[in-house]
Structure 1
Amino acid sequence: MRSQSSVMLMLLLLSSPLRASSSSTPPIPGMDTILERYENYSYAERHQLPINDPHLQSQGRWSMECPKLMSRIEVLQRTIRNLGGEEIDPMSLRELQQLEQQIDTALKRVRSRKNQLFHESISDLQKKERSLSEQNGMLSKKLKHNEKESSTGDEDEQSEQQQQQQNNGEMGLSQQYFVPPQPMQIQRQLGAASTSKTTQQQQQQQIPLWMLPFVHE
């Protein structure tokens, strides 16, 4: 119990504003030294407990562990506040330098991790850009192929239409300029041909036989 009382007294003196204002009092040891002394006292008292009473051992162990845990919690909370820039007025120059080194080390780690994530993000964006570029190229080729097939089909269809129109025009012209012969003209032509043939036969009958070869020439 004496060690617990001394620990509590030192904690009160450490957190008291008199530490910063009084210059005649001797320097108070640091928190790490206080905790080390407390652990030594606790270890000594722990081994003085009766061995044949488990309940008493457990109770004594927890009664000694609780102040130690509370002290460590207080130290950690104060360290966190100091890292956040709070309650740094009572700190000495050496403590401030140590705190600055801790903050610089933490800041370097934070920046290193941030740069790593930044480069990873850039790499992912570049991969996405290449993938989108490849997809764009494939879609462009497919679109050009479809346009080429469509234009070829339109040209074939247009050529067929022009050929059909040309054929229809030729048929219309032939029907337009074709005039069927009249029946009287046919009879006249047949009569003229028959008369010419009859006249030729009569002439052949009147010409002597030895003159026929000369006539055909």
Structure 2
Amino acid sequence: MGRKKLEIKRIENKSSRQVTFSKRRNGLIEKARQLSVLCDASVALLVVSASGKLYSFSSGDNLVKILDRYGKQHADDLKALDHQSKALNYGSHYELLELVDSKLVGSNVKNVSIDALVQLEEHLETALSVTRAKKTELMLKLVENLKEKEKMLKEENQVLASQMENNHHVGAEAEMEMSPAGQISDNLPVTLPLLN
């Protein structure tokens, strides 16, 4: 008798869910260990249960080293994700400016609490950091494009310099062949008078 295919959905019974979590967690850790041994790979695994308990596994390198390496390799991606998530939470800059306007303009200024001002300040700082990140990204792209143009211009300059060098040699050869009458051309053989 074969195994029944399990439908992947949340298990409603709490004790069954806990047993399944425990078994599958152990199976996942075993698979991670096997991957590490078979492929000589550094593996880090973090599992957080529904109750908030953290389980971890690491092979070879310790967990902190692996996570540090991941953080260094993907630092830009992680920063971008952080800025994007903050930007999504605060909506568009226009909405933020409307919020500032409604809180700080007119008679509402006296009624604004310190907590509201702190929250508003955080929104503004986040919007500013997102704006700066976007500006930096655009500036880096511009610098990259300028470097590409510089490289192309240098290559073109080298080609033109090579062509000029070739033209100079061809011109010098033509000039030597077309010397004025009465002069001995460098290309003609020189004959010496015979001695009697």
Q: Which has the larger radius of gyration?
A: 1
TM-score after normalising by structure 2: 0.40
Which structure has the highest strand share of the two? 2
